[in-house]
Amino acid sequence: MDTLPESTRLFEAQRPRLLRLAYRMLSSVTEAQDVVQDAWLRWQRTDMSEVQHAPAFLSRIVTRLCLDAMKSARVRRETYIGSWLPDPLPEPDDDLRADNLTLTLMLALERLSPLERAAFLLHDVFDMPMDEIAATLDRDVAAVRQLASRARRNVQSDKPRYPVARDDGDRIAIAFLDATRTGDVGTLRTILADGVRIVSDGGGKVLAFPNAIVGLDRALRLYRGLFRKYGDAESIVRQVWIDGLPGYISLYNGTPQTTSFEIENGRIVAIYKTRNPDKLAHISVTGDALH
Give the residue with greater pLDDT, 193 vs 79: 193
Last residue of a domain, one of 21, 49, 79: 79
Total domains in the fold of the chain: 2
Q: Which residues contact 167 (CB under 8 A, 6 or more apart)?
A: none
> Given this model, what pLDDT does residue 234 score?
87
Q: Is residue 224 part of a domain?
A: yes
pLDDT tens column, 49-107:
788 888 999 999 999 999 999 988 777 888 899 999 999 998 876 554 556 788 999 99
pLDDT tens column, 205-241:
998 988 999 999 999 999 999 999 988 888 889 999 9
pLDDT tens column, 143-189:
999 999 999 998 887 666 667 889 999 999 999 999 999 999 999 99
Cβ neighbours of 36 (radius 10 Å): 26
**Model confidence at 132: pLDDT above 80:** yes
Q: How confident is the model at residue 290 (pLDDT cuts 50, 70, 90)?
A: very low
**Model confidence at 289: pLDDT above 70:** no
> Residues 290, 54, 25, 261: is their CA dihedral positive or negative?
positive
Going by C-alpha positions, the residue among 260, 268, 261, 266 that lies closest to residue 193 is 268
Q: How confident is the model at residue 254 (pLDDT cuts 50, 70, 90)?
A: confident
> Residues 66, 72, 78, 81: is their CA dihedral positive or negative?
negative
Name 251's bridge partners: 235, 256
For residues 57 and 42, is the Cβ–Cβ distance under 8 A? Answer: no
Give the residue with greater pLDDT, 268 vs 71: 268
Q: Strands 255-264 and 267-274, how do they pair?
A: antiparallel
Q: Is residue 116 part of a domain?
A: no
> Given this model, what pLDDT does residue 77 score?
80
Give the residue with greater pLDDT, 8 vs 97: 8
Distance CA 32, CA 19 (A): 6
Going by C-alpha positions, the residue among 252, 268, 107 that lies closest to residue 260 is 268
Q: Is residue 158 part of a domain?
A: no
175 shares a domain with 71: no
Last residue of a domain, one of 57, 79, 101: 79
Q: Is residue 240 part of a domain?
A: yes
In DSSP notation, the chain reads: -----HHHHHHHHHHHHHHHHHHHHHS-HHHHHHHHHHHHHHHHTS-GGG-S-HHHHHHHHHHHHHHHHHHHHHHHHHT--S---PPP-EE-TT---TT---HHHHHHHTTS-HHHHHHHIIIIIT---HHHHHHHHTS-HHHHHHHHHHHHHHHGGGS-SSPPPHHHHHHHHHHHHHHHHHT-HHHHHHHEEEEEEEEEE-TTTS---SS-EESHHHHHHHHHHHHHHHSS-EEEEEEEEETTEEEEEEEETTEEEEEEEEEETTEEEEEEEE--GGGSTT--SSSSPP-
Rounded-to-10 torsion of CA 241, 203, 32, 280 = 50
Task: For the chain, state the CA radius of gyration.
Answer: 21
For residues 204 and 279, is the Cβ–Cβ distance under 8 A? Answer: no
Name 235's bridge partners: 251
Q: Domain span at residue 254?
A: 166-279
CATH code of residue 177: 3.10.450.50
Q: Is residue 246 part of a domain?
A: yes
**Model confidence at 288: pLDDT above 70:** no
pLDDT tens column, 14-36:
999 999 999 999 999 999 999 99
CATH code of residue 26: 1.10.1740
> Given this model, what pLDDT does residue 291 score?
32
Q: Is residue 104 part of a domain?
A: no
Distance CA 89, CA 69 (A): 20
Distance CA 65, CA 273 (A): 29
Q: Is residue 253 part of a domain?
A: yes
**Model confidence at 2: pLDDT above 80:** no
Rounded to an integer, the average pLDDT of 242-265 is 92
Question: pTM of the predicted model, to two decimals?
Answer: 0.90
Last residue of a domain, one of 20, 50, 79: 79
Q: Is residue 118 part of a domain?
A: no
Distance CA 136, CA 27 (A): 20
